[in-house]
């Protein structure tokens, strides 16, 4: 793992990975959208609104994955001072916030016709809303200090504390009564969803994942450039 | 085809979901790309204004007055012109140097 701790080595590896992952993402989106919109059948109860699932569920998975990976990175930053860990968290946060917003709004757009309401304050919806605020809070906190190191430290602690929310989101549908349906893909006993709907879902989930990898690489490169700019400015201003 | 856009009467819900997904994902991608370009351009112009020998030898001889003239990076432009051909080289050095920080 520490072999990748060197930013110069990371940049070389990123340059190698980026074109492949970008092309893969475009292909997966094309295939996934075709299957989701044209091939997959409508639900016998929900009609065509079931197609919202192909956006809503990948966005929700990515919202949780992004936060979990940021929390792991925060631990690496605090314990091992891994130089890329903080850069990863800062780069990933706006993407995670975007996924969470997408999940919340598409959920509303699905809830209105199927549940008869845009929003309820039940455990699943509320805990995802808290996840969205955690992303926003982290982004504000990291930039709130004059000394970027202190900002990153405070942000990492916030990420670790907020990690308790991730299992709460996952199991909220089992622990409390809710309008939201329980897990139907990642559950004991295998997926409870037919292949015609499962495949477009999995392909679009992979498309979201590869999109995330490509975009987070771009953002990490920007963050590394930003650090170099700050260092150059400091040396120039200090005349050292 | 009209059937397809109609989405069984749920067109507004289905299409706004997909439209929003498109908006969020392309918006974040474009913002990330333009941010990266802006920072790389800024970094390149900063590194161009930085004479190589000063980076190599640190604050050896001409430290003080050079530091003053190059306060904002742009001021060292005339000096930097000589080093322009070495720009690529300097950028590599900067990358490795950044790693050490």
Q: Is residue B5 part of a domain?
A: no
Question: Across the interface, do B25 and A106 touch by the CB < 8 Å criterion?
Answer: no
Ordered alpha helix ranges (H), chain A: 7-34, 53-80, 85-115, 123-142, 148-162, 165-175, 195-238
Give the one of B10, B24, B96 whose C-beta lies nearest to A49's C-beta: B10
Question: Across the interface, do A228 and B24 touch by the CB < 8 Å criterion?
Answer: no
pLDDT tens, A164-177? 999 999 888 888 87
Residues B19 and B11: beta-carbon distance below 8 Å: no
- Whether ipTM > 0.90 holds is no
Number of domains, chain A: 1
Q: Is residue A21 part of a domain?
A: no
Rg, Å, chain A Cα set: 20
**A131-135, A173-177, B60-64, range with the lowest pLDDT:** B60-64
Q: Is residue A25 part of a domain?
A: no
Number of domains, chain B: 1
Question: Across the interface, do B95 and A211 touch by the CB < 8 Å criterion?
Answer: no
CA B33 to chain centre: 9
* Cβ-based contacts of A215 with chain B (< 8 Å): 28-29, 32
Tell me which residue range forms the domain holding B91: 43-52+63-96
Q: Is residue B15 part of a domain?
A: no
Question: Across the interface, do A229 and B43 touch by the CB < 8 Å criterion?
Answer: yes
Q: Is residue A223 part of a domain?
A: yes
pLDDT tens, A17-35? 999 999 999 999 999 999 8
CA distance B97 to A8: 9
Confidence of residue A233 (pLDDT cuts 50, 70, 90): confident
Q: Which long-range contacts (CB under 8 A, 24 or more apart) does B82-91 make?
A: B82/B51, B83/B48, B83/B50, B83/B51, B83/B52, B84/B48, B86/B52, B87/B44, B87/B47, B87/B48, B89/B52, B90/B47, B90/B48, B90/B50, B90/B52, B90/B55, B91/B43, B91/B44, B91/B47
Q: Is residue B76 part of a domain?
A: yes
Q: Is residue A18 part of a domain?
A: no
Q: Is residue B79 part of a domain?
A: yes
- Would the pLDDT of A237 be above 60? yes
Q: Is residue B84 part of a domain?
A: yes
Instruction: Please tell me the predicted confidence (pLDDT) of residue A194.
Output: 80
Residues A143 and A125: beta-carbon distance below 8 Å: no
- Would the pLDDT of A119 be above 60? yes
The size of the A-B interface in CB pairs under 8 A is 131
- Would the pLDDT of B5 be above 50? yes
Q: Is residue B83 part of a domain?
A: yes
pLDDT tens, A90-99? 999 999 999 9
Tell me which residue range forms the domain holding A104: 52-177+194-238
- Would the pLDDT of A58 be above 90? yes
């Amino acid at each position: 793992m520490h072999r990748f701790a060197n930013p110069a080595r990371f940049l070389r590896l990123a340059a190698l990975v980026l074109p492949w992952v970008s092309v893969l993402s475009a292909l997966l989106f094309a295939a996934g959208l075709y299957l989701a919109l044209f091939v997959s059948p409508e639900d016998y109860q929900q009609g065509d609104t079931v197609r919202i699932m192909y956006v809503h569920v990948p966005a929700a998975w990515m919202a949780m994955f992004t936060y979990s990976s940021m929390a792991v990175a925060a631990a690496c930053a605090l314990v091992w001072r891994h130089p890329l860990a903080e850069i990863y968290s800062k780069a990933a946060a706006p993407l995670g916030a975007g996924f969470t917003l997408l999940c919340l709004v598409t959920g509303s757009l699905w809830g209105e016709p199927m549940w008869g309401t845009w929003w309820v304050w039940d455990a699943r919806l509320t805990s995802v809303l808290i996840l969205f605020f955690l992303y926003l809070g982290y982004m504000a906190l990291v930039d709130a200090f004059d000394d970027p190191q202190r900002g990153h430290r405070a942000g990492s602690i916030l990420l670790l504390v907020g990690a308790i929310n991730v299992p709460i989101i996952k199991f909220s549908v089992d622990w409390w009564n809710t309008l939201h349906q329980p897990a139907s893909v990642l559950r004991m006993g295998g997926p409870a969803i037919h292949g015609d709907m499962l495949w477009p879902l999995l392909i679009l989930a992979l498309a979201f994942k590869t999109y995330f990898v490509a975009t987070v690489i771009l953002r990490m490169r920007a963050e590394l450039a930003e650090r170099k700019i700050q260092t150059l400015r400091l040396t120039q201003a200090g005349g050292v | 085809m009209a059937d397809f856009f109609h989405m069984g009467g749920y067109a507004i819900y289905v299409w706004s979901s997909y439209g929003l997904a498109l908006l969020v994902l392309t918006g974040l991608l474009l913002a990330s790309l333009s941010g990266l370009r802006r920072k790389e351009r800024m970094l390149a112009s900063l590194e161009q204004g930085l004479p190589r020998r000063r980076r190599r030898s640190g604050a050896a001889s001409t430290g003080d007055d050079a530091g003053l003239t190059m306060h904002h990076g742009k001021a060292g432009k005339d000096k930097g012109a000589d080093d322009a051909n070495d720009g690529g080289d300097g950028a590599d050095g900067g990358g490795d140097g950044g790693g050490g920080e």
